[in-house]
Structure 1
Amino acid sequence: MIPKQIIARSMMFACVLLSACGHSGEENSQPGKPEPEKPVEEENYLTVTTRNGAPVESYEQSFAAFAQTLVVRSNVKWEVSAGNAAAWLHVEATSAATAEVAIEVNTGREVRSGTIVFTTTDPKVRVEIPVRQNFGETIGRAPIRDLMLIYDGYDDGRAFDDKRFAKYAASDDDAPQWLFDGYLFLTAHRGGKSFSGGLNRPASNKQDWEAIVDFYLEDTHSIPALDRAVGALRDQIGGTFHRRKVVIFMPEPQEGQTDWGEIDGKAMDFSNYPDRIAACKWYVDMVVEKFAQHDFRNIQLAGIYWFPEHGGFISTYMKQVAEYIHSKNLDYRWIPYYGAFGHADWKKYGFDYAYYQPNYCFSTTIPRQRLYDACAEALSADMGLEVEFDSNYAFERNVAYIDVYEELGILEKSNLAYYGGTSFEYWKNGITEERAFYERLAKIIAERQKKFTTNKKTPDTL
């Protein structure tokens, strides 16, 4: 990723030495005769610019090496240093008029900051230039109001291209409006192997974990396609634009697996928690590094999603993983199923956001009361809720989610995750009642987005 320098207004600090004016106070001064003017002392100054004369106020760097010559103009003797950041931020005077600044490659991809300080023989003339290395706009945690689950990367060839993502990004009426502001990319299995336990398939390994992320970032589909689709809509929709957020799932290091692979020459044994934690950290590093290699203009990586839908793990295990994800300035999200062990303890595990699955749509024997019960539990545990669609089941069971959520005020106060994107697409082009349901959904989501993006004081609530 090409490092970017953000240069703003000039920083110039000057000290004006004032000379006193008036009578000398001597008794024999001649009345009416003007006092001789005292010489005005020159102001001390120091300015810092690039070679082409652009003023330098601060540096915002991506995780790459950087070097530049700074032109210093001053009428007093000056020195330059990097203070506590000297281990990675190297700066030195190269002549009486220039200094060189160099930033080492941040191999750990940690957010770090320092300050270039110019001092002079006049203590009041001092210039400080903040330097910060971070992910810029393409990576960073952010709230998401409407998160669409994108099941991508399966062996059946399903892949989301630009045209398909356009159906999710905005409504299709004469005046299109933004819909989902978040997209969760996840895959249960690929190449005959599973990314989570309980799927009756062999466990995926290190190579499989890397391959699915590579698939998501291939130029012809998935995440790059989402970036292009959103970009193509920006001119049509107008107004203030907010990058759409991407969340990528993290495979489960399946307990007991011993053929996953090595980290730093050590074979991982998932019978013990330290190795499972190490694999999770490796995966987070890999996701961040690969995502950062793309200069996305319309999306940003905002978080990691824990794939298993139950709390079959100890809190200290999840907390360590969560803390590592947070160190990369990312959120950690989870969507447990109805009645899942530990679902109400999601905050104790270190998750930032959790959504509760009602699991009402998929069984004709589950009464409508399930939706009310799920909402009550979610609100009690401060969780968001999942909207579950499946056009293979009775249309009325799908509509019931929106009816109940609307009745209980969930649409006004809760974050939502949406399962069943293919059904959403199907209803878009469906018969009269299905098309009407799509239009109802699109209007609801668009209105949620408008309230969400304009509520600046509390951006995570409507």
Structure 2
Amino acid sequence: MTKLRNLAFRQDYDCSRLPENIAAEKCLTQGEYAACDVSDPRWQRHLSKVDRKFAFHFDRAKSIRSIKLRFFQGIEYAVYYPEFVTIYVSDNGEDWSSLARIHTRIPLYDEAESVQTYQWDGKTDGVPGEPQADMVYTRHVRIDVPVDVWVFMDSIELWGTDEKAETAVVLSGLFTEAAGPAMRGYHAAGESSGGVHNMVLLYNGYSKHDDKGDRVPWSREQLLPFVAYTDSAGRIKDWMFDSVLLLELWAPNGNSFIDHGTPADVNDWRWYLEHTFCRGSMLDMINDHVSHSAEQLQNEDYRMKAVLMIPYPSDRQAAFGKLAEDGEMMNFDHRSIDPMEAYRHKCTVIDWYIHEALSRWEAAGYSHLELAGFYWMNENVNHKSPGEQDLIRYAGSVVHELGLKYYWIPYFEAPGFWRWKELGFDAAILQPNYFFGDSDAGRIKAAADWAALYGMGVEIEVNESALKGEHAYNKYADYLEGGAKYGYNSRVLKGYYQDRLTFYHASLAQEGLGYDLYHKTYQFIKGARKK
């Protein structure tokens, strides 16, 4: 057999997106290896934006025995190995057949800086569906590399021969996959979203801080404008949001239900359950408002959908506490105990929490609320946490066993956002993160494009600054106008982040920015906003 050579050496190739360091654009086929050092300029650097597709196009078909890619990991710098790379081949450059998916052998949470080679070897790995073959005969090779945060790579090698080898086969037919995700369109509200269409986020721990910095509980009056569309005199005119997501970031002691600050413990999780389901709670008040509004609007069968949060079991919590007096101490910290034990403890706590929340919901017997499902609080996939993706899927499996839906609202281009379905979610809503940053209105289109591409809903974002100044108000208006421009205004699943009281205060205004904001939001919800 002819000696194998690197067919990619100094060969031109296409990449779906330029690297951050443009000078290294064509470095992957120059035969140079970078050092295990984040500062080495020979590393080609890619930042988020879902994935990179590298494609080689030869004038004539080649016999390929082995394909190699080399990556660097240094999680201190947010540089991670791709969880896997996928290799495709094609005769025509349009119809692609899957050759191999190669997974990382080094965990993404490994804190040591390292270099790893991902390799498909026809001799040892074989060719799919061709037990006698150890090479593929093809003109086109494409390699898809998922990029969640930073990915550093220095080389792609295709080892083979120019002529057709006896053990080389053309791969086609059975394993054909599309060159990329088809344009699925936005997530349409309906059965797949548990009936959720326009869902407002309400932080039910407290409504605001007073002048002394103390928490002020929600009042019954504050909640009506979220349930029903009211005029400035508080008269009920129509329904407003059809669904509510109850969540909270902080326990009263300042501990966190997300992966920031001091992580919450079992007493904080219990406090949240008690607070959510106690007499006179937000759920009680919302239920009363829905019941009263249903009578006023002569729609007695109406039920508002509710979604409940699942607090995030942070790796930084080494002493979560016991679920029972004689129970085991739960520890989520994989650095202090075996990672699999930490993972088991997280699963145990999540299972307990979901079942406890459901038990309390059923005991409450809300007459005009329907539990749609549960919401995963962390807004990205945390690669530093062992078994994070399995944990997300486990929580989803518990929710699904109870016949409920599983929701997620990742931030813009969050690690793993585009794999929401694979992670077990029934519905995901993408945050544009436009209102709070310095990005221009192009961010709305970018978020809409991602949401449409990956079958997601869109989040609408605002806070009280939009009631006080035209710059912030106009940014909010961009979201509403974007619905008509980019097609997410009608039957598309949407979430509404409004801090805590923005829509309530807007509903009280008799003129000006607040008046416009509340009433235009109502028009948007009803699909009346036009381009």
Which TM-score band (shorter chain)?
0.5 to 0.7
Q: Aligned with 1:277: secondary structure?
A: helix
Partner SS state of residue 410, structure 1: coil
Please name the residue that 1:189 is paired with. Answer: 250
Q: 1:282 aligns with which of 330, 333, 352?
A: 352
Q: Which runs of 5+ in 2 are unaligned?
A: 1-192, 335-341, 467-471
Of the three residues 324, 340, 347, the one matched with 2:414 is 340
Partner of 1:234: 294
Equivalent-residue separation in structure 1 for 2:303 and 2:278 (angstroms): 20
Residue 329 of structure 1: how far off its partner (Å): 1.5
Query: Closer, same or farther in 2 for the Cα pair 1:242/1:423, shift >3 Å?
Result: same
- Partner residue of 1:385 out of 434, 445, 458: 458
Please say if 1:165 is aligned against 2:235. Answer: no
Question: Distance in 2 between the 1:204 and 1:175 partners?
Answer: 39
Question: 2:508 corresponds to which letter in structure 1?
Answer: N
- The one-letter amino acid of 1:410's match is Y
Distance across 1 between alignment mates of 2:259 and 2:389: 19
Please say which of residues 152-161 and 268-277 is displaced more in the overlay.
152-161
Aligned partner of 2:522 in structure 1 is 442
* TM-superposition CA deviations, 1:150-203 (whole Å, max 9, x none): 0121474343333222111111146611111111111111122111112x2x21
Question: Which residue does 1:296 correspond to in 2?
Answer: 366
User: Could you tell me how far apart the structure 2 residues matched to 1:218 and 1:426 are?
Assistant: 26
Q: SS where residue 379 of structure 2 aligns?
A: coil
User: Match of 1:248, SS?
Assistant: strand
Residues 390-429 of structure 1 mapped to structure 2, 5 A cutoff: 390-392=463-465, 394-420=472-498, 422-429=501-508
- What amino acid does structure 1 have at the position aligned with 2:363? Q
Letter of the 1:309 counterpart: E
Taking the TM superposition and a 5 Å limit, the aligned residue runs for 1:50-449 are 142-154=194-206, 156-173=214-231, 176-190=237-251, 191-198=253-260, 200=261, 202-239=262-299, 241-263=301-323, 265-270=327-332, 271=334, 272-312=342-382, 314-363=388-437, 365-392=438-465, 394-420=472-498, 422-430=501-509, 431-447=511-527
Whole-angstrom CA distance in 1 between matches of 2:236 and 2:321: 51
The one-letter amino acid paired with 1:178 is W
Question: How much does 1:256 deviate?
Answer: 4.0
Cα separation, 2, equivalents of 1:343 and 1:165: 31
* Residues 249 and 305 in structure 1, CA contact (< 8 A), matched pair in contact too: yes
> Which residue identity is paired with 1:369?
G
Aligned partners of 1:244 and 1:299 also within 8 Å = yes
Aligned equivalents of 2:278 and 2:526: distance in 1? Answer: 29
Q: 8 Å contact 1:231–1:298 — kept in the other structure?
A: yes
Counterparts of 1:175 and 1:182 in 2: how far apart (Å)? Answer: 17
Deviation for aligned residue 1:418: 0.3
Give me the whole-angstrom Cα distance separating, in 2, the residues matched to 1:218 and 1:175: 27
- Aligned to 1:392, the other structure's residue is in SS state helix
AA partner of residue 434 (structure 1): G
In 1: Cα distance, 2:243 partner to 2:218 partner: 15
Residue 321 of structure 1 aligns to a residue in which SS?
helix
Query: Per the alignment, do residues 275 and 233 of structure 1 end up closer, same or farther by CA in structure 2, a change over 3 Å counting?
Result: same
What letter is aligned with 2:197?
R
Native 8 Å contact 2:240 2:522 kept in 1? yes
**Preserved CA contact (<8 Å) 1:178 1:446:** no
Deviations 1:276-330 (A, max 9, x none): 1111111101101111111210002221111111111532221121111111122
**Are the aligned partners of 1:427 and 1:437 in contact in 2 as well (CA < 8 Å)?**
yes
Query: What 5-or-longer segments of structure 1 have no aligned partner?
Result: 1-140, 449-462
CA distance in 2, matches of 1:216, 1:419: 19
Per-residue deviation, 1:244? 0.5
| Aligned residue number for residue 77 of structure 1 | none
Return the alpha-carbon distance in structure 2 between the equivalents of residues 221 and 355 of structure 1: 27
- Counterpart Cα distance in 2 of 1:395 and 1:309: 25
Q: Indicate the structure with greater strand content.
A: 2
CA distance in 1, matches of 2:482, 2:526: 19
The whole-number CA distance in structure 2 between the counterparts of 1:250 and 1:433 is 35
Percent same amino acid at aligned positions? 24
Where 2:201 maps in the other structure, the secondary structure is strand
Q: Which has the higher contact order (CA 8 A, sep 6+)?
A: 2
Instruction: Please list the CA deviations of residues 17-52 of structure 1 after superposition, one character each: whole Å capped at 9, or x if unmatched.
Output: xxxxxxxxxxxxxxxxxxxxxxxxxxxxxxxxxxxx
Q: Tell me how far 1:240 sits from its aligned partner.
A: 6.0
Letter in 1 for 2:201: L
Cα-to-partner distance string for 1:409-458 (whole Å, 9 max, x where unaligned): 2112410000005222222233334312321211332458xxxxxxxxxx
TM-score, normalization by structure 1: 0.63
CA contact (8 A) 2:238 2:297 kept: yes
Rounded Cα–Cα distance in structure 1 between residues aligned with 2:409 and 2:216? 23
Matching residue's letter, 2:271: A
Mapped partners of 1:149, 1:370: distance in 2: 22
SS in 1 for 2:229: coil
Cα distance in structure 2, aligned partners of 1:324 and 1:436 = 42
Q: How many residues align?
A: 306
User: Could you tell me how far apart the structure 2 residues matched to 1:397 and 1:411 are?
Assistant: 16
Looking at structure 2, the residues matched to 432 and 251 of structure 1 have their Cα atoms a distance apart, in angstroms, of: 38
Looking at structure 2, the residues matched to 163 and 434 of structure 1 have their Cα atoms a distance apart, in angstroms, of: 17
> Who is 1:41 aligned against?
none
Regions of 4+ moved over 4 Å: none
Displacement of 1:274 in angstroms is 1.3
Q: Is the 8 A contact 1:354 1:383 kept in 2?
A: yes
